[in-house]
Amino acid sequence: MSGPIQDDVFAAGEGDRWYERNRDALGHDDWPLRLIERNALHPESVLEIGCANGWRLAAIAESGAPRLVGVDVSSAAISAGVSQTLDLSVGRADRLPIEEEFFDLVIVNYVFHWIDRSTILAAISETDRCVAPDGYLIVGDFLPDRPTKVPYHHLPDDSVFTFKTDYAAAFTALSTYEVIDREIYNHDDPSAEPTSENRGVCTLLRKTLSGLYR
């Protein structure tokens, strides 16, 4: 194998640059928060993987959840952390800086598509490890017609890609999660019909370790 994997590229600075480019737009038109509200979830503990500056956790804090933990590869985003009540730390999704702890709700929104294909299963396993046995998981990402690899235009010389596919399916494939709610939308223009290029999906899943087996 040659060169760094793309998780190292994002950890080495592209995560920070993404944050600088996008920090003023964070929180616009948010489907994870809507699914939490629509399904009347009141988690006591929430982990967000790829939380940026914790803006979404801060919004959840307003409903009174006492334990709010966020992890992001960008040290710029984490050090800009929007609230002192959040437990934010720098770390990677495939090796979360979290000891043995379960959360009532774990959120991973538009993060899996950035992760190197050599570490994506580890990131999915780490996510699963942190969801409580009857807990909830929200996965948001792009949903093209078929798995799609797109050159990451901010780093045209670095062989970095975004990998778009149905990540919720990784959790339902073994029948250890069931889909509770799902919203499909146009990522670029919420008022327009989605196409393969711009379709986004936000899925609320519930973990159920053997309940779906007959």
What does the chain come to in residues? Answer: 214
Query: How far is CA 48 from each of CA 32, 173, 199, rounded to the nearest angstrom?
Result: 11, 22, 22
What is the bridge-based pairing of β-strands 103-109 and 148-151? unpaired
- Single-letter code of the amino acid located at 200: G
Distances from the Cα of 125 to the Cαs of 5, 29, 133, 146, 161, in angstroms? 18, 29, 14, 23, 21
Residue 160 sits at φ, ψ, to 5 deg, of -105, 140
What count of other Cβ atoms lies within 10 Å of the Cβ of residue 207? Answer: 19
- Reference 88, options 116, 120, 46; nearest CA is 46
How far apart (Å, rounded) are the C-alpha atoms in residues 56 and 33? 8
Identified binder of ligand SAM from the candidate list 35, 77, 137, 202, rule CB under 6 A? 77
Site string for ligand SAM, 168-197 (x = CB under 6 A): ------------------------------
Query: How near is the Cβ of 209 to ligand SAM at its closest, in Å?
Result: 25
For position 204 contacting ligand SAM by CB under 6 A, the verdict is no
Our CB check for ligand SAM shows the closer of 18 and 163 to be 18
Which tokens go with 82?
């929007």
106 strand-pairing partners: 47, 137
Q: C-beta of 6: minimal distance to ligand SAM in Å?
A: 9
92 binds ligand SAM (CB under 6 A): yes
| Minimum gap (Å) between residue 30 Cβ and ligand SAM | 8
Q: Is 70 in the site for ligand SAM (CB under 6 A)?
A: no
Size of site (CB under 6 A) for ligand SAM: 19
User: Which region among 105-113, 143-151, 163-171, 193-201 touches ligand SAM (by CB under 6 A)?
Assistant: 105-113
Min separation Cβ 66 and ligand SAM, Å: 22
Based on the shown chain and the rule CB under 6 A, indicate whether residue 104 belongs to the binding site for ligand SAM.
Answer: no
**Contact range with ligand SAM by CB under 6 A, out of 18-26, 81-89, 128-136, 165-173:** 18-26
CB of 77 to ligand SAM, least distance (A): 5
| Among 86, 91, 90, 95, residue whose Cα is nearest residue 56 | 86
Instruction: Report 107-136 residues binding ligand SAM (CB under 6 A).
Output: 109-111, 114-115
Rounded to a whole number of angstroms, the minimum distance from the CB of residue 74 to ligand SAM is: 4
